[in-house]
Amino acid sequence: MEKLDSSSATPASIPATMRAGVYHNNSDVRIEELPVPSIGPGEVLLRVRASGICGSDVLEWYRVPKAPIVLGHEVAGDIVAVGKGVDTVAVGDRVVVSHHVPCNACPQCLAGFHTACHTLHTTNFDPGGFAQYVRVPELQTDRGVLVLPEGVTYEAGTFVEPLGCVARAQLRAGVRPGSTVLVIGSGISGLLHIRLALALGAGRVFATDVSPYRLEWARRSGATEVFDAVAAGEKLPELLREVNGGKLADLVILCTGAPSAIDQGLACLDSGATFVVFAVPAPGQDHPMPLNDLWRREVTIRTAYGAAPGDLRTALDLIATGRVAVDDLITHRLPLDRIQEGFGLVASASESIKVVIEM
């Protein structure tokens, strides 16, 4: 791999080694010393300033088989070196970087299904956002780097990826002005869904969760009414009708893969409604669908995975213009030395909303 030349960076300003949080499991995230990656033509080196812990980072069925690994994909930082041929960003730019980018040429991309692209599913950066430096490969440098506008902090920048995923789901599902939206699960994704639905003109947004702490956050985020999912049980559709003029939901967004949550969401669909599968059970945990009932009432089932570059640009614009507030959702800002504490907070799903690791 070609090394940096002196016109691309100041070698003395970039150390030979860096510290990183290496994931083994949710209870074992180790601070280790790793080499700072070298970059080649078309690539950039990012000094990470802030990296959010995503709920997917603590899904052990998904992460442990890949361990040991440096996770972290909600990343913001500074460009500190650029490889030959890079002219879209420069040293000193404050940016967010996407770990997954599509090829833009396959049948899926050409049909608008960019997040189903094989390339998107196989791209990543080196090593991961819970490291002090990240090498951004050529493809991500070309289409996955967004410059942060003035006034958008690094911490706010860590929300571009999760909000991009939320924006893709809602814009494809179609939040109609005045419509009723029900968000099942009020973790960070659920809260972003509440806020975006309101920004897009939803008339009423309802939310559920099993945690009183998260239900309070749903209220703070603008939910019209919240429901304790356990207390509501099978009566959730009846309770929803009572506060929604006798109607069920036009759009239900599933933000948890719990089987009981799936059942509650399906039961709350009005005729002609849309059910968005934003979160899923673990592999092998199949769930029955009442197809006869859904068919008779012309219910649409949509899945939503990840975010394409256009979705990330939409998310950054929503954050920069203040249409979707994100800063208040950060409940914990921790240094890299305390990354194990951060993983514990997210894995326990107790009294935290967004945990950001600051380098």
DSSP assignment of 106-147, as one string? Answer: SHHHHTT-GGG-HHHHH---BS-SSBSEEEE-HHHHHHSEEE
In angstroms, the CA 309 to CA 300 distance is 26
Per-residue model confidence (pLDDT) at position 314: 98
* Structural domain includes residue 3: no
Per-residue model confidence (pLDDT) at position 130: 98
Residue 153 and residue 190 in one domain? no
Residue 104 and residue 200 in one domain? no
DSSP 36: P
Portion of the chain with pLDDT greater than 90, in percent: 93
Task: Give pLDDT tens digits for 305-342.
Answer: 999 999 999 999 999 999 999 999 999 999 999 999 99
Residue 86 and residue 175 in one domain? no
Question: Would the pLDDT of 1 be above 80?
Answer: no
Per-residue model confidence (pLDDT) at position 6: 34
CATH number (domain holding residue 279): 3.40.50.720
Task: Give pLDDT tens digits for 226-281.
Answer: 999 999 999 999 999 999 999 999 999 999 999 999 999 999 999 999 999 999 99
| C-beta of residue 356 within 8 angstroms of C-beta of residue 52 | yes
In angstroms, the CA 311 to CA 149 distance is 17
* Structural domain includes residue 333: yes
Residue 222 and residue 88 in one domain? no
* Structural domain includes residue 4: no
Task: Give pLDDT tens digits for 146-166.
Answer: 999 999 999 999 999 999 999
Q: What residue numbers bound the domain in which 280 lies?
A: 166-303
Angle between helices 188-199 and 160-173 (to 10 degrees): 50
Task: Give pLDDT tens digits for 52-71.
Answer: 999 999 999 999 999 999 99
Question: Would the pLDDT of 3 be above 90?
Answer: no
Residue 18 and residue 114 in one domain? yes
Per-residue model confidence (pLDDT) at position 350: 85
Give me the chain's average pLDDT, please: 95
Number of domains the chain is built from: 2
